[in-house]
Amino acid sequence: IVLDAPPNVPTDDIITSPTSAPSNLSSSSPSNRPTSEQDIGASTPRSKHFADECTSYLLSPEFLEDGIVSQMEFTRFLIHHCIQKGLCDDTTVITFEELEVGLQLEFILGVCSHEEQVDKAQCIDDLKTMWRKGNQFGFDADADGMDSLVQDVKGMCTKSYGYVLEMGLTETPAPTKLPTASPSV
């Protein structure tokens, strides 16, 4: 876990881009939530491309420079990705808190990927304290743990795809099943 002091400018807490949120951004229903890797398209070429793009973006030198891959940088990637796919327009404003709860949890559990439940619980509690204080939190981008960082970020990006898809921030995967025959009359 890395703690980074919040910026002095209050508007830095909001990630903005030259696009607007898709119309279905806040209209998700619990019944549409992904429930398994197959449901979230984990094996589709688009999901793999998304995970690769997410990992490359978050592990770019500009984000590693400060020693943290933060929740704000993850949100910034999602906006960037949505713009690149032509799904958002130039008035998009999304904060980490506005993301689907499942997507927030994927980020948090990616950061707190400890095997021991006690360590994981302590990590989550520490993140909650940082969030309440208005601080950035995220993956520790220490050069000594780069292999682990790549693995953790890639895993988080892969698991996030279904939620990102559900929010309308990425493209729908191509159909993988054959069309069903029309019923005869």
pLDDT at residue number 171:
84
CA distance 47 to 158: 7
Contact of 13 with 4, CB cutoff 8 Å? no
Burial of 26 (0-12, 13-18, 19+ CB in 10 A): exposed
Over 90: is that where the pLDDT of 123 sits?
yes
Mean pLDDT of the region 151-169: 95
CA dist 105 and 147 (Å) reads 22
User: Helices 45-58 & 71-84, crossing angle to 10 degrees?
Assistant: 130
Work out whether the CA dihedral 102, 103, 106, 107 comes out positive or negative.
negative
Average pLDDT of the chain is 78
The per-residue pLDDT for range 4-53, each reduced to its tens digit, is 433 333 333 434 333 334 444 443 433 344 434 444 444 678 899 999 99
pLDDT for residue 2 is more than 60? no
pLDDT for residue 40: 45
**Euclidean distance between CA atoms 170 and 47, whole angstroms:** 9
**pTM (predicted TM-score):** 0.72
- Whole-number Cα distances in Å, 180 to 29, 152, 176, 177, 184: 27, 39, 12, 9, 12
Distance CA 143, CA 182 (A): 57
